[in-house]
């Protein structure tokens, strides 16, 4: 007869595979988390990282009743719908453009769908109204922010987190929320570009900028409106006043007043430098500032990324082109039917659009008429 198995030997059922990452070492209270899914562990780790950076334990109760502030998922859903919708619309326009080019190469022309002549006038009117409205909206945010921070005694130094219920505190919360909501309205920039078929306008920089803003600002308004991050809506709204003024003048056809286009890009880069200098103080000489550091850190990251992207755009669109001599520019234009520049030619008429394409032959023959183009 076989001897009985020793009771000291462990049961095979107790031999569990050791997880790749033992997440229990991250639990200060010693809780057993071996049965939790990896997604829960990642969420816990992310939450602890945010707590280390000073994220408040609870959301700001003053914004509970604001639209879209009850949960993060509506904001994420709208942003995802924007990105997917832009991609699908852009692919559709690309297919139509490629079909048109292929039909022209093969010697026949695909007839265009009949469109009312008033359509482009309608688009132009809507663009003018939209840009004027955004100038007013952004201007209101600038003026209201300046009034509130002056009354509240804000300085360029540390401004601690304030969850008061006084009039000034509530109005500062409203400014933060209106700034957040404006980022959804600004998605109409892309709609107008695609509506007019300006695919060259819908770049990675453009889509990334509009898609990144609402989700990131939501967290700031939800947990820590006001405080030292007041510089973000103030400077950004001021830049948008100038930017939408430019777009409005372009929609009206006032191109003779738009010689300062490249300086608009410079102004945007200056804005990002201001963000970096102002928000980084909580990590350098003002470490004792009583404000959640996760939000200044996010603003610094955002500013650094967009400073690089806008700087790259400026170098390609202006600096390199200005360094070319006129002879080199003309020689390069003769080698191809189109060159990258700051305008767009449609039916032989020069139109003013950022990052567009100019047909060199048409631009040369209609250089005088281009100043009067709409």
Q: Are residues 238 and 140 in the same domain?
A: yes
DSSP 18: P
Which tokens sit at 253?
Answer: 């056809």
Three-class secondary structure of residue 345 per DSSP? strand
Axis-axis angle for helices 73-105, 204-223 (nearest 10):
170
The length of the chain is 374
How many other CB atoms are found less than 10 A from the CB of residue 18? Answer: 8
- 49 in any annotated domain: no
- Give the C-alpha separation, 332 to 336, whole Å: 7
Spatial separation of the C-alpha atoms in residues 203 and 213, rounded to whole Å: 16
At residue 321, the pLDDT reads 65
pLDDT score recorded for residue 193:
92
Q: Which of 244, 223, 222, 221 is nearest to 232 (CA)?
A: 221
**Burial call 155-180: b when 16+ CB within 10 Å, e when fewer:** eeebbebbeeeeebbebbbbbbbbbb
Residue 12 resides in a domain:
no
Number of domains comprising the chain: 2
Residue with the two structure tokens 């509009």: 210
Q: Do the domain assignments include residue 81? A: yes
Is residue 314 assigned to a domain? yes
- Residue by residue, pLDDT tens for the chain (374 residues) are 455 544 444 444 444 444 433 444 444 444 554 555 665 666 566 666 666 667 787 899 999 889 999 999 999 999 999 999 999 999 988 888 877 766 665 555 444 443 444 456 888 899 999 999 999 999 999 999 999 999 988 989 999 988 888 899 999 999 999 999 999 999 999 999 999 888 888 988 899 999 999 999 999 999 999 899 999 999 999 999 999 999 999 989 888 888 888 889 899 999 999 999 999 999 998 888 889 888 999 999 999 999 999 998 888 877 766 666 555 655 655 554 333 333 333 333 334 444 333 343 444 444 444 444 43
Are the C-beta atoms of 75 and 68 separated by less than 8 Å?
A: yes
Check whether residue 71 and residue 194 sit in a common domain. yes
Give the contacts of 238 (CB within 8 A, at least 6 positions apart). Answer: 138, 142
Are 308 and 328 within one domain?
A: no
Same domain for 145 and 230?
yes
| C-beta separation of 219 from 324 below 8 A | no
Give me the domain span that covers residue 332.
324-374
Residue pair 207/190 in contact by the 8 Å Cβ criterion: yes
- Can you count the helices (H) and strands (E) in the chain? 12, 4
Q: Which residues are catalytic?
A: 209
Both 347 and 250 in a single domain?
no
For residue 343, what pLDDT is reported? Answer: 35
């Amino acid at each position: 007869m076989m001897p009985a198995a020793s009771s000291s030997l462990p049961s095979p059922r107790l031999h569990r595979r050791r997880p790749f990452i033992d997440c229990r070492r991250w639990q200060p209270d010693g809780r057993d988390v071996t049965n939790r899914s990896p997604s829960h562990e990642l969420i816990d780790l992310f939450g602890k990282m945010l707590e280390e950076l000073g994220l408040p334990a609870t959301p700001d109760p003053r914004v509970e009743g604001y639209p879209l502030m009850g949960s993060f998922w509506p904001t994420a859903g709208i942003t995802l719908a924007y990105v997917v919708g832009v991609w699908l619309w852009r692919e559709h326009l690309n297919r139509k453009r490629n079909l048109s080019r292929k039909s022209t190469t093969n010697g026949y022309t695909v007839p265009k769908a009949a469109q009312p002549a008033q359509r482009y006038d309608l688009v132009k009117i809507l663009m003018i109204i939209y840009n004027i409205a955004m100038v007013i909206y952004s201007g209101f945010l600038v003026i209201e922010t300046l009034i509130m921070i002056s009354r509240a005694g804000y300085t360029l130094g540390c401004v601690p987190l304030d969850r008061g219920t006084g009039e000034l505190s509530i109005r500062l919360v409203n400014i933060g929320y209106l700034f957040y909501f404006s980022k959804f309205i600004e998605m109409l920039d892309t709609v107008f570009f695609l509506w007019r078929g300006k695919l060259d306008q819908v770049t990675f920089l453009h889509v990334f900028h509009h898609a990144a803003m609402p989700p990131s600002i939501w967290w700031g308004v939800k947990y820590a409106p006001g405080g030292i991050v007041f510089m973000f809506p103030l400077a950004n709204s001021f830049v948008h006043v100038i930017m939408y003024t430019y777009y409005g003048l372009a929609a009206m056809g006032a191109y003779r007043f738009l010689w300062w286009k490249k300086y608009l890009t410079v102004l945007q880069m200056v804005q990002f430098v201001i963000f970096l200098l102002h928000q980084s103080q909580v990590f350098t000489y003002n470490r004792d500032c009583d404000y959640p550091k996760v939000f200044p850190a996010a603003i610094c990251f955002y500013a650094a990324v967009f400073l690089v992207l806008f700087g790259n755009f400026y170098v390609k669109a202006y600096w390199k082109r200005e360094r070319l001599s006129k002879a080199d520019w003309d020689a390069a234009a003769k080698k191809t039917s189109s060159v990258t520049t700051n305008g767009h030619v449609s039916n032989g008429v020069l139109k003013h659009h950022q990052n567009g394409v100019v047909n060199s032959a048409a631009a040369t023959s209609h250089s005088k008429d281009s100043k009067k183009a709409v």
